[in-house]
């Protein structure tokens, strides 16, 4: 059900750090509805996108960037011999599409990510595969970078039509298990326990009572109905999925999602980065009830990891899951790291200025892309959870300290 509500208005604003998160960047769906204010957006018509027109020759980089900026769905492209990029629409205005990569195999095709679970997305995926010379029934494998609905949503439908296996990292497989409350011995008790944790997180952040009530009610609705497809194969760090003709190697890059995977091919000198490294957007890294304790530390470590892996493999092009492909991995990673360094400094300063404040209040004092008062509450929750990820990181480095309570209060160190 997340897929039906995580749309629309969310894309219009971004409570992101202003300089890095350019206007129109993405409040992306995350697997947990309470952690994800986008999931609270009212249902709206899906973004209208024109169908990708297939072309077998790559378009110029500038053309791709322009398409990415001006709202068109880019063309299906052959990125390398045997490797295709298929834009699949996402009903979030600022995201617009996810790039599914199709890898030709001797007996069919493998795809990396599947797209949003909608008829429109499914049609775009089928058309894209057709442009590459395949039917959806030819799909042998669905490798998933992470289980957010824009990447994982269609995996189950593709498997139904093709018998493909679905592969994810074990940590994201745990998220799927967590969301399939129907599989629990006592589903209602399981929902209640999840909602208790959702509420506790917001209370410890000092969120206003009406925000907590709204979030928990919404999460309750979603948790009862969300049932993402069960994965078939677990892909661990360093694994080489069985794909004849390919030397793809998985790199575990937790942070944006605990089980996020990138895939590198030395022979093609490409790195598929999912949402871990995007050319303009800063991926959301937030604390939520199902996240690891310090996701920002994980994310920054994963940035360093993928930078080194890219250099070691002689990667010449990065193939991200949104926006457009680009060349300079190291520069982009450095930029993302610098962004978080600045944001951490801003948050540390806000803690010092407040002298004992809850996360929600600290978040309200930060620079966002629009005034805090005009940010809808579901996006404030996302901003809060992102702020919390930074506070937890600062605490882990001894730069701020937390006095536990309801809410937890944050103070300068020492
Ligand atoms: Zn994502
Ligand atoms: Zn995404």
**From the CA of 284, how far away is ligand 1's center (Å)?**
8
Q: Is the pLDDT of residue 68 over 70?
A: no
Task: Determine the pLDDT at residue 26.
Answer: 35
Q: How many domains does the chain have?
A: 2
Task: Determine the pLDDT at residue 222.
Answer: 86
Per-residue model confidence as pLDDT tens digits over 226-253? 889 999 999 999 999 999 999 999 999 9
Confidence of residue 207 (pLDDT cuts 50, 70, 90): very high
Query: What is the CATH number for 247?
Result: 3.60.15.10
Give me the helices (H) in 146-294, please. Answer: 149-152, 155-162, 170-179, 187-205, 209-225
Tell me, yes or no, whether 81 lies in a domain: yes
Spell out the residues 6+ positions from residue 335 whose beta carbon is closer than 8 angstroms to its own: none
Pair 265, 390 in one domain: no
Per-residue model confidence as pLDDT tens digits over 120-129? 999 999 999 9
Pair 267, 366 in one domain: no
CA distances from 42 to 149, 178, 190, 378 (A): 17, 24, 26, 10
Which residues have their alpha-adjacent CB atom under 5 A from ion ligand 2?
150, 275
Ligand (nearest to CA of 322): 2
The span from the first CA to the last CA of the chain, in angstroms, equals: 46
Confidence of residue 32 (pLDDT cuts 50, 70, 90): very low
**From the CA of 149, how far away is ligand 1's center (Å)?**
8
Pair 332, 399 in one domain: no
Ligand (nearest to CA of 116): 2
CA neighbor of 289 nearest in space, from 394, 200, 212: 200
State the residue for tokens 């070691």.
Answer: 312
* Average pLDDT of the residues of the chain: 85
For the chain, the farthest-separated pair of C-alpha atoms sits apart, in whole angstroms, at 64
**From the CA of 152, how far away is ligand 1's center (Å)?**
10
Pair 367, 295 in one domain: no
Which residues have their alpha-adjacent CB atom under 5 A from ion ligand 1?
28, 148, 275
**From the CA of 361, how far away is ligand 1's center (Å)?**
26
Spell out the residues 6+ positions from residue 81 whose beta carbon is closer than 8 angstroms to its own: none
**From the CA of 408, how far away is ligand 2's center (Å)?**
31
Which residues form the domain of 7?
Answer: 2-175+228-338
**From the CA of 283, how far away is ligand 1's center (Å)?**
7
Pair 138, 267 in one domain: yes
Task: Determine the pLDDT at residue 95.
Answer: 87
**From the CA of 285, how far away is ligand 1's center (Å)?**
9
| Separation between Cα atoms, residue 251 and residue 311, nearest integer Å | 13
**From the CA of 283, how far away is ligand 2's center (Å)?**
8
Task: Determine the pLDDT at residue 1.
Answer: 26
**From the CA of 181, how far away is ligand 2's center (Å)?**
24
380: number of Cβ within 10 Å: 21
Percent of the chain with pLDDT over 70: 83
Q: Is the pLDDT of residue 62 over 70?
A: no
DSSP SS3 for 161: helix
If phi > 0 it is left, if psi is from -120 to 50 it is alpha, else beta; for residue 211 that is: alpha
Pair 292, 353 in one domain: no
Ligand (nearest to CA of 260): 1
Pair 321, 381 in one domain: no
Angle at 142 between CA 336 and CA 135, to 5 degrees: 120
**From the CA of 90, how far away is ligand 2's center (Å)?**
9
Task: Determine the pLDDT at residue 63.
Answer: 58
Spell out the residues 6+ positions from residue 338 whose beta carbon is closer than 8 angstroms to its own: none
- Among candidate residues 308, 338, 368, the one where a domain is terminated: 338
CA distances from 136 to 69, 80, 150, 243, 244 (A): 29, 20, 18, 17, 19
**From the CA of 355, how far away is ligand 1's center (Å)?**
34
- The residue-averaged pLDDT of 178-184 equals 89
Report which of residues 405 and 41 the model is more confident about: 405
**From the CA of 375, how far away is ligand 2's center (Å)?**
22
Per-residue model confidence as pLDDT tens digits over 293-335? 999 999 999 999 999 999 999 999 999 999 999 999 999 999 9
**From the CA of 98, how far away is ligand 2's center (Å)?**
7
Per-residue model confidence as pLDDT tens digits over 72-87? 789 999 999 999 999 9
**From the CA of 306, how far away is ligand 1's center (Å)?**
17
Length in residues, the chain? 414
User: Residues 96-130, buried b or exposed e (16+ Cβ, 10 A)?
Assistant: bbbbbbbbbbeebbbbbbbbbbbebbbebbbbbbe
- Among candidate residues 338, 361, 381, the one where a domain is terminated: 338
Task: Determine the pLDDT at residue 48.
Answer: 23
pTM of the model: 0.85
Spell out the residues 6+ positions from residue 400 whose beta carbon is closer than 8 angstroms to its own: 348, 351, 391, 394, 410, 411, 412, 413
**From the CA of 258, how far away is ligand 1's center (Å)?**
11
Pair 315, 367 in one domain: no
| Separation between Cα atoms, residue 196 and residue 400, nearest integer Å | 27
Spell out the residues 6+ positions from residue 248 whose beta carbon is closer than 8 angstroms to its own: 103, 143, 240, 241, 263, 264, 265
Q: Is the pLDDT of residue 64 over 80?
A: no
**From the CA of 139, how far away is ligand 2's center (Å)?**
21
| Full DSSP string of 357-395 | B-HHHHHHTS--SS-GGGS-HHHHHHHHHHHHHHHHHHH
**From the CA of 150, how far away is ligand 2's center (Å)?**
6
Indicate the DSSP class of residue 279. S
Confidence of residue 225 (pLDDT cuts 50, 70, 90): confident
DSSP SS3 for 317: strand
Beta strands in 72-196 (DSSP E): 77-80, 83-89, 97-105, 108-112, 139-143, 165-168
Least confident segment among 10-24, 337-351, 378-392: 10-24
Percent of the chain with pLDDT over 90: 76
Ligand (nearest to CA of 259): 1
Per-residue model confidence as pLDDT tens digits over 256-294? 999 999 999 999 999 999 999 999 999 999 999 999 999
Ligand (nearest to CA of 99): 2
Ligand (nearest to CA of 31): 1
Task: Determine the pLDDT at residue 66.
Answer: 61
Pair 260, 387 in one domain: no
Pair 252, 313 in one domain: yes
**From the CA of 411, how far away is ligand 1's center (Å)?**
31
| Separation between Cα atoms, residue 333 and residue 302, nearest integer Å | 10
CA neighbor of 124 nearest in space, from 66, 62, 57, 47: 47
DSSP SS3 for 57: coil
Pair 237, 290 in one domain: yes
- Among candidate residues 320, 338, 356, the one where a domain is terminated: 338
Ligand (nearest to CA of 100): 2
**From the CA of 281, how far away is ligand 2's center (Å)?**
10
Confidence of residue 92 (pLDDT cuts 50, 70, 90): confident
Tell me, yes or no, whether 205 lies in a domain: no
**From the CA of 14, how far away is ligand 1's center (Å)?**
15
Spell out the residues 6+ positions from residue 150 whose beta carbon is closer than 8 angstroms to its own: 28, 29, 90, 92, 95, 98, 115, 116, 321
**From the CA of 286, how far away is ligand 1's center (Å)?**
11
- The residue-averaged pLDDT of 197-215 equals 96
């Amino acid at each position: 059900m997340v897929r039906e509500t995580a749309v629309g208005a969310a894309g219009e604003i971004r409570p992101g750090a202003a300089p890095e998160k350019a206007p129109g960047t993405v409040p992306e769906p995350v697997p947990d509805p309470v952690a994800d204010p986008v999931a609270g957006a009212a249902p709206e018509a899906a973004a209208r996108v024109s169908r990708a027109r297939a072309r077998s020759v790559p378009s110029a980089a500038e053309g791709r960037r322009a398409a990415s900026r001006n709202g068109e769905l880019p063309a299906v492209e052959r990125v390398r011999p045997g490797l295709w990029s298929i834009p699949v629409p996402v009903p979030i205005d600022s995201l617009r599409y996810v790039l599914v990569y199709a890898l030709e195999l001797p007996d069919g095709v493998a795809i990396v990510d599947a797209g949003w679970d909608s008829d429109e997305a499914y049609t775009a995926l089928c058309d894209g595969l057709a442009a590459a010379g395949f039917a959806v029934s030819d799909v042998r494998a669905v490798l998933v970078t992470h289980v957010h609905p824009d990447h994982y949503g269609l995996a189950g439908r593709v498997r139904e039509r093709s018998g493909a296996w679905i592969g994810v990292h074990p940590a994201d497989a745990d998220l799927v298990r967590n969301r399939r409350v129907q599989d629990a011995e006592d589903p209602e008790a399981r929902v209640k326990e999840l909602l208790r944790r959702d509420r506790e997180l917001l209370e410890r952040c000092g969120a206003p009572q009406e925000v907590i009530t709204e979030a928990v009610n919404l999460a309750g609705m979603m948790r009862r109905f969300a049932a993402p497809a069960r994965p078939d194969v677990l892909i661990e760090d360093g694994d080489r999925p069985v794909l004849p003709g390919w030397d793809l190697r998985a790199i575990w890059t937790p942070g944006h999602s605990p089980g996020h995977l990138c895939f590198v091919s030395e022979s093609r000198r490409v790195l598929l980065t999912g949402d871990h490294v995007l050319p303009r957007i800063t991926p959301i890294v937030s604390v939520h009830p199902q996240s690891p304790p310090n996701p920002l530390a994980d994310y920054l470590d994963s940035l360093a990891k993928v930078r080194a892996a890219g250099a070691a493999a002689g990667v010449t092009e990065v193939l991200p899951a949104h926006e457009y492909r680009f060349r300079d991995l190291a520069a982009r990673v450095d930029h993302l790291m610098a962004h978080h360094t600045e944001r951490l400094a801003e948050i540390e300063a806000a803690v010092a200025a407040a002298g004992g404040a809850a996360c929600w209040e600290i978040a309200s004092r930060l620079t966002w892309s629009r005034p805090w008062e005009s940010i809808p509450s579901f996006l404030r929750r996302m901003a809060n959870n992102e702020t919390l990820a930074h506070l937890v990181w600062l605490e882990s480095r001894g730069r701020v300290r937390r006095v536990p309570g309801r809410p937890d209060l944050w103070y300068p160190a020492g």
